[in-house]
Amino acid sequence: MSNRMTETDTHLTRPLRADAQRNRQKLVTAARDTFAADGTSAPLEEIAGRAGVGIGTLYRHFPTRQALYEAVYLDEVEAMAEAADGLIDVEPGEALRRWLRQYLGFAATKRALTEALLEAAPDSDVLASCRTLLMGAGNGLVERAQAAGAVRSDTDFADIGRIVSGIAVSPAAGQEQKERMLGIVLDGLRPVA
């Protein structure tokens, strides 16, 4: 067996040049904004245009629509996980409240993207990996708040995340009502005397 790397092997392990990395990030940002405004079936040419690159650049980075969906979803999930990490110096109950407010917005905008991913590739590892990352971030905040006595002990992020996601995608509720419902949930998380 040869130790010589093929062009394909080199391409897979070679880091992106700085300009290519910037283009990739501009495409992910443009796709996120376009999907939020126009839905997941928005033309790829529109995304490339918003990113200020040609369609060929989009296809070099994301050869399929599914690859673009996955990149956008992963980018958003990683941002949520980083947000949880960024709250380490905040009082545990307040950290959870802040993160759940951010999660409310995340869940509202990611519903269509999640459905598109499930339709394009129901067996995609990306959704499972993202779910694990989100659960880890959410459970970390919940457990910290529980240890500080700020959150009841009979719950976990699986419970809380489902409730907040349900609020986020409530079709008849405006943003003000969603915020009010989240407040009710947060009140319900307090330990029972």
Cα separation of the two ends of the chain: 68
Phi-psi category of 52—alpha, beta or left, where left has phi over 0 and alpha has psi -120 to 50?
Answer: left
User: Whole-angstrom Cα distance, residue 166 to residue 146?
Assistant: 23
Q: Does pLDDT of 122 surpass 80?
A: no
CATH number of the CATH domain containing 95: 1.10.357.10
109 and 184 housed in the same domain:
yes
Q: Which of 71, 97, 91, 56 is nearest to 179 (CA)?
A: 97
Question: For 16-54, what is each residue's pLDDT tens digit?
Answer: 688 888 999 999 999 999 988 888 889 999 999 999 999
129 and 170 housed in the same domain:
yes
Q: Which pLDDT value is given to residue 14?
A: 62
The domain tally of the chain equals 2
For residue 49, CA distances in Å to 17, 46, 150 come to: 21, 5, 47
Q: Does pLDDT of 13 surpass 70?
A: no
User: Whole-angstrom Cα distance, residue 155 to residue 153?
Assistant: 6
Q: Which pLDDT value is given to residue 134?
A: 95
Is residue 140 helix, strand or coil?
helix
Domain hosting residue 138, numbered range: 69-193
Question: For 55-112, what is each residue's pLDDT tens digit?
Answer: 999 999 999 999 999 999 999 999 999 999 999 999 999 999 999 999 998 888 788 8
